[in-house]
Chain A
Amino acid sequence: MAPRSLWNGSIAFGLVTVPVKVYTATDSKSVHFREVHAKDGGKIEHRRICPKDDQTVGSDEIVRGYQVSARKWVELTDEEVAAAAGTQARLIDVDHFVPASEIDPVYYDKAYYLGAQDKGRDAYALLHAALEKADRAGVGRWVFHNRERTVIVRPLGDVLALHTMRFADEVVDPSDLELARVNRKPTEQEIEMAGKLVDGLHTGFDPSEYEDSHRKAVLALVEAKAAGKNIELPAPEEAEAADDLLAQLEASLSA
């Protein structure tokens, strides 16, 4: 069965329009728990309480507000929030092209697939072939769920993938976190040895070789508990500290 698309529209590539459907590309496989009351397993409900009257507030008595000062809130309707999205264009205007391999992983936010629509499949095939040949990703803007985002479009196998990208001011600059001074920097000898260790562990990446073993362990715990077994609690761990770097590196290499 074909999945359901989240959004239908077009990509504008110069004067060529490419009709597309957007599909979600990922889904979490985490074991899902719900909040329960530990002593009786009662389901936990989240209730909205007004702290002033100490009363439950119904959803029809709730409005959306943005804080402008300590005591003042500005109320906005759905339409007013939608106004911030700008024109609800059914168009993703891809107007410049970047080498995707140069984009740092921190900028990638959410991933989607673009499907071809029945009409204009030749235009989809053309954009796919040209991006592949030029080895570039198209950059554009996409308004989705009343929010405007920067997106890239890139070929992935036989389809096009679309990624929403984080804005520069959302990404923390690592150098904002302060690093203590060291009296003695790592020596060339240590760096060389560590480099050998890196080379020794170098391998190709095949994602299917890695399984979420924790997910299975969690499900096994659920089964054990359901069967009435006692679960042994793990002892707290203590991290070991590094003192003699060179000796540790030597031991690692000979291990």
Chain B
Amino acid sequence: MPRSLWTGSLSFGLVNVPVAMFSGVSDRDLHARQLHAKDHTPVETHRFCAEEDVEVPYDEIANGYETDDGEMVILTDAELAAANPHKSRTIDIEAFVDLDDVDPITFDHPYILMPSGEAEGIQRAYRLLVEVMGRTDRAALGRIVMRTKEYLALIRAREDRLVLTTLLWHDEVRPTDPIPAPTKKDKPAKKEVDAAVELIESFACEWDPSRYEDAFQKRLREIVKRKGKGQAIELPDEEEDEPTPVPDLMAALERSLEEAKA
């Protein structure tokens, strides 16, 4: 079992289920380390106090907030925990919403919630939530406090487990107004839209994440292997020229459709 990132309880009405939270993402990337050039010793990061020029152990580090007039306000982790004294270890289910109503732009990080504790009561309460959520397309909405941040979170059933997705707050999604968008006079003709939809339909398929592989990681591992054997690495080509917009949209669509059929 991996290490849990958070433990607390999930509360649904008057039912409390102790849960442990795990990351829904596993990092399989090959990571670079900073090495001392002369002998390839991996360097370590140490924390120093700029005032005294001495190394500072981790438990002597606090959170500094610089006010507008340049004053440094210091808060310890324990003091910061006072920001939400009653709810920091509980996810209260506040509402149930349709997943389709939540725009993917707000999806932040995925986690998995598991029952915490062997007691039959805990396991059964967890099963009950899985069962009832699995029977609807609705997701539970609650709040979770992790370290110094509060998140809105969606909880759903997946593969007999509860999964949690943290959401961004509405003011963390930027407005689209300043983004340059086409104007009314760019509006396509109906026959152009129809041809474009036909082109989309001819390349339509289901979402199947197993079709995509991380080509970057694969090539990086290959490059590291070759370099390790002392072989030369071929450097990438110059940047390609940027393609120019086509002058006649309809003609390009028709040719695309012919190619799609061929």
Contact = CB atoms under 8 A, between A and B. Distances in A.
B39 A52 contact: yes
What are the 5 A-B residue pairs with the smallest beta carbon separation, nearest first?
A252-B13, A14-B256, A214-B150, A42-B51, A120-B245
Nearest to A52: B41
A77 to B, nearest CB: 9
Interface residues of A, number: 188
Contact of B244 (A17, A101, A225): A17
A24 B172 CA distance: 11
A45 B50 contact: yes
26 contacts: A21-B180, A29-B169, A38-B62, A40-B52, A45-B48, A51-B42, A52-B36, A61-B38, A62-B37, A73-B42, A82-B235, A119-B245, A121-B182, A124-B182, A134-B197, A156-B105, A167-B213, A168-B212, A170-B25, A182-B124, A207-B103, A210-B169, A214-B84, A222-B67, A226-B67, A248-B13
Given A91-B240, A201-B94, A225-B74, A102 B128 contact: no
Contacts of A24: 174
SS class, residues of chain B in contact with chain A: mixed
A38 B60 contact: yes
A74 B240 contact: no
B210 A168 contact: yes
B104 A111 contact: yes
Contact of B186 (A102, A121, A166): A121
A13 to B, nearest CB: 7
B132 A198 contact: yes
A76 B88 CA distance: 44
A174 B158 contact: yes
B61 to A, nearest CB: 5
A237 to B, nearest CB: 5
Interface in B69-103: 71-76, 78-86, 88-90, 93-103
Contacts of A32: 65
Contacts of B224: 66, 68, 74, 76
Interface in B130-188: 131-133, 135-136, 138, 140-141, 143, 145, 148-150, 152, 154, 158-161, 163, 165, 167-174, 176, 178-183, 186-188
A179 B22 CA distance: 13
A85 B60 contact: no
A40 B14 CA distance: 46
- Most-contacted residue by chain B among A2, A74, A86, A163 (CB, 10 A): A74
B131 to A, nearest CB: 5
Contacts of B237: 87-88
Interface in A73-102: 73-76, 79-91, 95-102
A205 B99 CA distance: 9
Interface in B194-238: 196-197, 199-201, 203-207, 209-210, 212-217, 219-220, 222-225, 227-228, 233-237
B5 interface: no
Contacts of A133: 193, 197
Interface string B241-262: 1111110010011011101100
Contact of A194 (B132, B223, B243): B132
B227 A74 contact: yes
B14 A248 contact: yes
Contacts of B223: 76, 80-81, 83-84
A148 B36 CA distance: 29
B114 A108 contact: no
Contacts of B74: 36, 38, 41, 225
A174 B47 contact: no
Contacts of A201: 93-96
Contact of B15 (A29, A233, A234, A242): A242
A28 B167 CA distance: 11
B101 to A, nearest CB: 4
A196 B122 CA distance: 21
A1 B36 CA distance: 44
Contact of A245 (B15, B35, B102, B135): B15
- Most-contacted residue by chain B among A3, A16, A91, A235 (CB, 10 A): A16
A82 B8 contact: no
A172 B24 contact: yes
Given A74-B224, A82-B236, A122-B188, A106 B163 contact: yes
B134 to A, nearest CB: 10
Nearest to B103: A156
A231 B140 CA distance: 34
Given A128-B182, A214-B149, A245-B121, A101 B100 contact: yes
